[in-house]
Structure 1
Amino acid sequence: MPASPSTARALNDRRALQLLQEEGPLTAGQLKNLTGLSRPSVADLVERLQDGGLITVVGESGAQRRGPNARVYGIVADRAYLAALDVRTDSVGVGVADLLGRTLAEATLSVEEDVPTEQAVEAAVALLERTAREAGAAPLHTVGIGAPGLVDPATGELRDSTGLPAWHRGLVRVLQERLPATVLVENETNLAAVAEQRRGGARAHGTFVLLWLGAGVGAALVLDGKLRRGASGGAGEIGFLPMPGTRGLPSAIHCDGGFHSLAGGAAVQELAAAHGVTTGPDAPATLAAALGAGERAEPFLDALTERLALGAASVAAVLDPGCVVLGGELGLAGGKVLAARVEARLAQLSPLRTEVRAGELGGGAVLGGALLVAREAAQDELFAPAR
């Protein structure tokens, strides 16, 4: 059954906006060539999008030809402003961007462990409001939040998780109540996977698993192009995976004894010290130094490779993703050298061929992923056809 004229127009408008997002400013002639539409259809499309305040003339074509230069159209970047929050156990990172995804401002706030919940929440909200205001990006249209813990797939709410600060849930609730913006919450590792797929180490991969390696560990599953969250939002909680070589077993309330005990930041520091490697201020710095230390650091690197390969082998055996990305701060510090080590060891542990790639965005992947999700949500609303 053919689409109605109004539906066809809506589809054409959305396609043109996507092209302007991906390709940058275009002339009507370029839109015609890229969409395959007739010249009159493109002229009508451009007029509709201009009347809707979604695109505007941003310049003229510099092509040498007879007659006037062609107008160049681009998305109105300040049609909506976006924000992202990377909520860690001891800090909050904020980023503000326009509708094109261009970052306008960033800021970070440390949150001490003994700060009262209400005070921590108010400080984080004030940071967001101040950063947006100073960037000239108020009011905000959509805010994306990346946080550790489980996000209920039915309600989109951050679930109460043992071991995580109470101010996390309080912050999400206050932002949803106080801001006129749409507030979206997603697990931090899932957002990192979104960013690595669009802009980092997982480009061109529709199926992969991101192993998040930072202070804590986690995994995100992207299968057939879709992020998989699981029935309760807990897909990828690999920190709880029971592993050989730990002192016990994880429980329903704590991941001690799981993969976290082998590959979390503190565990990596302990492993380095046990092998006589001088530890830096954190695990990524220690790993970076070890990679440049030559033969004396080989025992530490071999032991770390073994641990990471065990986690990757467990993922490969269940999901067969074909690609595992080592993300987070540790994955970035290890780079291609660590990824190659893990891939070689993984090939010995599993009959399933699995490429191991280094994440390219490090800890910044969470904030980047949150901005991508916020931008897509804003575009879905703003670019929706008028009814």
Structure 2
Amino acid sequence: MRYDRRMTASKPSLALLRDLSDENVLLTLMDHSRLTRAELAVYTGLAKPTVAAAIRRLEELGLVFDTGERTTGRGGVGTYYALSAEVGVALAISIAPEGIAVEVVNTVGECQSRFVEPVTRPAAPAAVVRMLVKAVKAATAGIDGKHLRTAVVSAADPVDRNSGSLVHLPDAPFLLGALSPVKKLQPLIAGPIVVDNDVNWAARSEQATRAAAGGQLDDFVYLHLGEGLGCAVVTDGEVRRGHSGLAGEVAHLITTGSDGHAVTFTSIFEQLSLQQTESTAIDVHRLLARLDSTGGAELARTLARAICGVLSAAIAFCDPSAVVIGGTWGTAAPLLAELRRQAAILPRAIPVEVATAIGSPSLAGARTAAVDALRRDVLARATSAAL
């Protein structure tokens, strides 16, 4: 067929160009607290008149405002613009044995307020519900409810991916029953609420931390070894939650016990007298103390053998490129060295790496997701208003 220049693709409509310009300006303001129109033109690559028109439209939508601040120095006076309060905020929430933490974050990723409510041990479901609501109200005091656009929750329990409710599995150390953060938070939050377990959020935080450092890890398992036991499965750069959301619940995997017989992973800590009183939670202080004691080398061999049993299952089903160890005791020097030695002689050897996201990786993962969700919400509102 003969080529005809009249058959070239049609040019984008003016409406589409306006939408793209508005989106570009919004995204740039999300990365900076305030900017002048001249600065926006530099950052976006748009012409100054295009930026001015986009600012005018976004001001009319209530998404951008004149801060009242002006540039100083030579040349013309520049006006600073920023995202308005109408853009709203997001909540990042952690429900964990040590307490409930609530952070209010903006589109720039800044934490505007934070409240932590300690959890009484052992945790009672009804009490945790009250603490959750109290913490959210305290962190958001003075903020109009319509500005609470979304919430992302990290929970130290299995999470049903369809309902967002916590799931009670046998021997779970942090028993909250079928607590539904979504139902409890819906009266307080204007938009969607996302819930996932803490280990999955920690794995996402690990990905982000490595990416920020110029690295990449798209296929790995993240094994959390703390008061509780958990695993996140990441393939092709995505956390895989499974049919019901319980992928990675490794506590009941069969492995090798302290006596050489087959036991569930969680049972070995009972065999070794490493559980907290009247709980299946691991006594981290006792475990670390024993690793540093006279019999520490034998304990490290026993624990590493049990962990490698879990890793063998993960390797068989997930084919990861590496295992990342997180939590409060899995990276203890004597244990880590023994774990690496045993992992290297498995039928399918695998490198064992230490988590690079430290501090509160689960909350950090939830925080990043909350900021991303808020940004998408702002862009969606700008687009829908233009229709």
Aligned in 2, Cα 1:357/1:170: closer, same or farther, shift over 3 Å? closer
In structure 1, the residue matched to 2:19 is: 10
What residue number does 1:214 align with?
Answer: 226
1:346 is paired with a residue whose SS is helix
The answer to whether structure 1 residue 42 and structure 2 residue 59 are counterparts is no
Partners of 1:91 and 1:157 lie apart in 2 by 21
Is structure 2 residue 96 aligned with structure 1 residue 96?
Answer: no
Q: What do residues 86-111 of structure 1 show as CA deviations (whole Å, max 9, x unaligned)?
A: 223x5641222231332311212314
Greater alpha carbon shift after TM alignment, 304-313 vs 229-238: 304-313
1:161 aligns with 2:158: no
Aligned-partner residue type, residue 95 of structure 1 = V
Secondary structure class of the residue paired with 1:383: helix
SS of the residue 1:232 aligns to: coil
Residue aligning to 1:187: 197
Give me the whole-angstrom Cα distance separating, in 1, the residues matched to 2:293 and 2:176: 44
Q: Secondary structure at the match of 2:366?
A: helix
Which ranges in structure 2 are unaligned for 5 or more consecutive residues? 1-8, 276-280
Give the AA of the match of 2:95: V
1:327 aligns with 2:326: yes
Q: 1:38 to 1:111 in 2, by over 3 A?
A: same
List aligned pairs for 1:271-350, cutoff 5 A: 283-285=283-285, 293=292, 297-331=296-330, 334=331, 342-350=339-347
Matched residue type, 1:356: E
Deviations 1:38-71 (A, max 9, x none): 4443333344344434445666678x8x523655
Could you tell me which of 132, 138, 142 is aligned with 1:130? 138
Among 112, 115, 124, the alignment partner of 1:106 is 115
Equivalent residue number for residue 375 of structure 1: 371
What is the DSSP-based 3-state SS (H/G/I as helix, E as strand, rest coil) of the residue aligned with 1:349?
coil
2:236 is aligned with 1:229: no
The equivalent of 1:261 in structure 2 is: 267
CA contact (8 A) 1:309 1:343 kept: no
The alignment's TM-score, normalised by the length of structure 2, stands at 0.74
Counterpart-to-counterpart distance in 1, 2:209 and 2:272: 27
Distance 1:34 1:148 in 2: 41
Aligned length: 359
- The change in CA–CA distance for 1:93 and 1:35 in structure 2 (over 3 A counts) is same
The one of 171, 180, 183 aligned to 1:173: 183
SS of residue matched to 1:239: coil
Matched letter for residue 44 of structure 1: A
Q: Indicate conservation of the 8 Å contact 2:274/2:282, yes or no.
A: no
Structure number having the greater helix percentage: 1
1:286 deviates by 5.2
2:216 alignment partner, SS class: coil
- State the Cα RMSD in Å: 4.0
Gaps spanning 5+ residues in structure 1: where?
251-256, 272-280
Partner of 1:253: none
Give the equivalent residue in structure 1 for 2:354. 357
Q: CA deviation at 1:195?
A: 2.3
Query: Which deviations, in whole Å up to 9, do the C-alpha atoms of 1:11-44 show, x marking residues without a partner?
Result: 4443444444446655555544554444443333
Report what 1:254 is aligned to.
none
Given candidates 139, 142, 162, the residue that maps to 2:150 is 142
Contact 2:153 2:366 in 1 (8 A): yes
Q: Deviations over 1:198-239 (max 9, x none)?
A: 247996334132212221111112222222211221221222
Q: Cα distance, 1:4 vs. partner?
A: 4.2
> Residue in 1 aligned with 2:251?
239
Residues 126 and 29 of structure 1: CA distance in aligned 2, closer, same or farther (over 3 Å): same
CA contact (8 A) 2:91 2:103 kept: yes
- Residues 328 and 245 of structure 1: is their aligned pair in 2 closer, same or farther, counting only changes over 3 Å? same
Structure showing greater Rg: 2
Please state how far the C-alpha of 1:260 moved relative to its aligned partner: 3.1
CA-to-aligned-CA distance 1:130-176 (integer Å, 9 cap, x gap): 2321xx445333222222444333x3431542346455525542222
Amino acid across the alignment from 2:200: N
Structure 1 counterpart SS, 2:374: helix
What amino acid does structure 1 have at the position aligned with 2:230?
G
TM-fit CA distance, 1:180: 4.1
